[in-house]
Structure 1
C-alpha cells in the first residue's frame, strides 16, 4: 500500500525534526513554543490551508515509525514503512531496543542497569525494569537508554548509523514485539536523540502514546496521541498540538484521521507563525494504489472562518470556503490532489 506523502513527509507524532548535512540538530524546543495566533481563512489562503490539511490527515509516518519498535511487523507492506528519515528512525529504535533488552542473566522483576558495547563502536547504557527479557517488553516494563556514539554498520535495516542521546520506553499493556495478533499500549520519550548516517543528522525530542491493535498483518489499528509534534516541510516547520491520529489498515486499503491544532510558517497561509484547527469529520480512505477515495475535513481559523474539504472522486475534492464564519460558503470549487500539492 502506498500512502500519500507531503513534500517532506511528516515525522513521528512526538518529535521535532532538525536535520543538516553531517551535523547538527537543535534541542527540540519548538514544540514548546507559545500558541500562535489563529489565522483568518480567506479565498487567497484557503488552497494552501487545504493542502496542508490533506497532507497532514493522509500522512501515516507517525504510526509507521512507532511500529518500527516491533521487529517483524510491517504496517505498510508495499511502501516499506515510510520515507528515508522515518525509516532510519524506526530502524534505530528497533536496534536500540534490541540491544537494551538483555536476553539472559536477568531475574524476573529485577532492575536493569547495564552498559553494552554497540556492534560497531560506542556504548548504550540501559536502566529500568524488564519483567521477562526473553518475552520482549511487556506490561509494566520501563527502560531508559543513553547512547554515546552507538554505531550500527549493517544491523539496522542495512543502514549504517550512529546514535546519540536518550530514549525511554514504557509499556502500559500487552507485549511489544513479535507477530500479530496482539494488543499493546506504550509510550516513548526522546531527548536530543540523534540518528546520523554520515551525511545527515536528525535530532528528535518529545513524547507520545501509541495504542496498537494488530489482528493480522492486514488488519490493524494504531492510534497516536500527544501534546505536541513538529515536522518539516521543506524548510518550514509544521507543529501539531493536542493531536490524535488513527490509522486503520484493512487489507490493501487504509483510512486515516487527525484532530489537531496546527501551527505553520507557510507564507501562503499567513505571515509569521499562525495556527488553525483540523477536524476530521470522515476519515480519509485510501485504496491499494494510494488514491484518496473518500473523506471530509473541516479546517477552522480565526472568527470561525473555515474551509471544508470533501472527497468527490478519487484524488478530487470539493472545497467550500466560509471567510466570515457565518456558516455560509462564499465560494465552492473543485480541485485535484495534484493541484493541492502544488501549494506546498
Structure 2
C-alpha cells in the first residue's frame, strides 16, 4: 500500500474534481473521508498536506494564491461549509463545479485585500508571508501559519472580490498601514487609493483616526500627501464641470478683500459679475466641529451678508453627481439677476 492507495470503498480520486482543492476536516468528513484516511494522505511524501489547523490541500505542491486565501477563510470562518442533509450526497455529480462556500464572520483585510481590490502598489498575493483576516473579537482563534488573525469589535460590511469577502478599501488601508513602517510604502498606498478612484480621503482619514495611526510620524507625513492628492482631484473635477457643462468661465483660486478693508477669504472659483462663489470642502473627518469648520462657516456668513452666493461642494458630490452640481451652480448664476447688487470687493490671485 502506498500513500495514494484509497483507504475506503469510496475512492478519494473523486475529490480531485472539486474546483478548489482546499477542504476542511468537516468537508472531508461530509465526503466520507475519515480522520484516519486524512492523516494517511497527509503523511510525508503523501498526496495531501495540512495548510492550517483543520484545513487541507489536496495536492502536494505549493498552494496557489487562491488556495491560500480559501485556506485562511476556511480556518477563520465560523461556518464555511454546511453538512449535507441526511440521505443527500455531498457531491451528487463530481463533474459539476462545487459552489463557492459561504464564509461567515471572516473578512480578508490588509495588503491582501488591497491586492484583491486591484492596487498596483500592493504586493502580489504569493509574496505575502501572511494574509490578514478580520474576525469578531470574541472568536477563539490564534494567528498561525499564513493566517494572521485581527480581532475587531465590529466587522465591516465586506465587498466581494471573486466571491471572497474583502474589507472595504479604507479599512483594508488602515489595517495595512498599521503594519508598515516605511513612509514611501504608506504614501504609495494612500495616493493610489485616491488617485485610482478606490475611495475618498475623508473615508481613509476616518479609518486611520479610528485606528489611532495618525500619531505615527511616517503615517502623518503620508497623510499630507493624501490630502493634497484629494484636493488636486477635486479641483480637476471642478474644472471639468465648468468645461463639460458649458458654464461661464470663472476666475480661479482667488482671494476676496473689501477695498481698504479686511481679507474675506479664499475661493476656488468666483464669477464676479454674478457674485457667485464655489468653495471646495476637503476637510478631513474629525475637523467638522473644530476651528477650521468655524472658519468655513464664518467666511460663508460674511460673504453672504455682502450679497455673494457661496456654493459649497465636496469631492464626493463632484465625483458622484457632477451634472447635478453643475445645475446647482448654473441656478445660482441665473438667480443673480433677481438679487440686489453685491457689495464691491477686490479680487486678487491666491
Shorter-chain TM-score: what band?
under 0.3
More helix by share: 2
Greater relative CO (CA pairs within 8 A, separation 6+): 1
Please report the TM-score for the alignment, with normalisation by the length of structure 1: 0.26
**Structure with greater strand share of residues:** 1
Q: Tell me which structure has the larger Cα radius of gyration.
A: 2
TM-score, normalised to structure 2, is: 0.26
